[in-house]
Amino acid sequence: MSSENNNFTAWAGVENGKPLTQVELTLKQWDENTIEMDVTHCGICGSDVHTLDENWGPTDYPCVVGHEIVGVVTRVGKNVTNLKVGDRAGVGAQSGACHECEPCLEGQENMCQGGIVYTYSSRWPCGDKSYGGYADKWRGDYRFAFKVPDNMTSEIAATFFCAGITTYAPLKRSNIIPGKSVVGVMGIGGLGHFGVQFAKALGAKVVGISQNDSKREIALELGCDDYINASDEASMAKYNSGLTHIICTGTSPDFQWHTYFALLKVNGHFINVSAPEWQFPGMSAFTLLSKQIKIYGSGIGSPKEIEEMLAFAAEKDVKPWITTYKMSDVNKAIEDFRAGKPRFRFVLEN
């Protein structure tokens, strides 16, 4: 089952505004810290579209996006300890780190300061480009590939490696107390629907928050105990100083801090995992001081947190709502994604 073939086939962005094109490219150089796998599934993430559209800066085309990857391991290097040929493995938004800086040595490789490698639109230390999962193969560092639990299907597992960890990790770090914490989830979408389920599984009362009533029934179906229509004064007033945590997975450009801080209790947490194209507004110092609010952001999670999340999700039966597309229908999937059709994650399948 070992392979010396360094080529792979992918659906790549070749130019801004153009459809993805099927091309043959070269995998990263092999070393003994490397695994290779045949990709079976890859989730579609908002980050993929932002990168293809150059919303966050110039993209180094050709670019193969996709950082919610699951596949079957076909080759392992001599240093690989966590996976063997035949295992199902998953890869998220990060594929490498320096392993030498302070955050890395403290087990926070996702905060690496010395050489983080993102799964696509990045470079390996050897200079090779990193390529994502809209492809038939993936090759990369075993320390950022994780065994998929036996009781989790591959299409379900794929979405945990970005959307899942992005919501699980900050909620787990934020001292949620079962039966006491009340978590508001802003945005009932690809990230938010995970946020609802994880907060509920961690023992919190969960309140969905959106700009109108269109997501109310879906929020309750996902497990929310209540719902706030942020455009309705009475709905907002009901939870004045009523939430211990807010996790912001998405909001509109008219966002104002004080509107949502009003919902938080003293010493409340405002956790942002959203990365909009627009900037958050300024803030009055008194808005911040009045309740001793803690504001922090979070992106992805450490390898340890990913392993912990997979076990927790398998135990608690946390499951995303997904729609699958054939990998060859990727351009249709991207078109539907842009049209706002996901309820709530799209997954490509080889």
Using pLDDT thresholds of 50, 70 and 90, give the confidence band for residue 285.
confident
pLDDT of amino acid 300: 94
Q: For 27-45, what is each residue's pLDDT tens digit?
A: 999 999 999 999 999 999 9
- Half-sphere exposure of residue 324: CA atoms within 13 angstroms, side-chain side: 12
pLDDT of amino acid 338: 95
pLDDT of amino acid 1: 39
Strand-pairing partners, residue 37, are: 73, 138
Q: For 141-159, what is each residue's pLDDT tens digit?
A: 999 999 999 999 999 999 9
Q: For 188-217, what is each residue's pLDDT tens digit?
A: 999 999 999 999 999 999 999 999 999 999
Are 68 and 138 a contacting pair, CB within 8 Å? no
Alpha helices in 176-284 (DSSP H): 192-201, 216-222, 233-238, 257-261
What number is the average pLDDT over the span 243-251?
A: 97
pLDDT of amino acid 286: 87
- Half-sphere exposure of residue 86: CA atoms within 13 angstroms, side-chain side: 0
Q: For 303-348, what is each residue's pLDDT tens digit?
A: 999 999 999 999 999 999 999 999 999 999 999 999 999 999 999 9
Are 109 and 302 a contacting pair, CB within 8 Å? yes
Q: Would you state the CATH architecture of domain 7-162+301-349? A: Alpha-Beta Complex (3.90)
184, two tokens: 């508001």
Measure Cα distances from 287 to 228, 256, 284, 290, 302 in Å.
21, 11, 5, 6, 32
CATH no. of 165-297: 3.40.50.720
Using pLDDT thresholds of 50, 70 and 90, give the confidence band for residue 277.
confident
Q: For 32-80, what is each residue's pLDDT tens digit?
A: 999 999 999 999 999 999 999 999 899 999 999 999 999 999 999 999 9
Q: Where are the domains of the chain?
A: 7-162+301-349, 165-297
Asked if the domains 7-162+301-349 and 165-297 are classified in one and the same CATH topology, the answer is no
Geometric angle at alpha carbon 44, from 149 and 322, rounded to 5°:
60
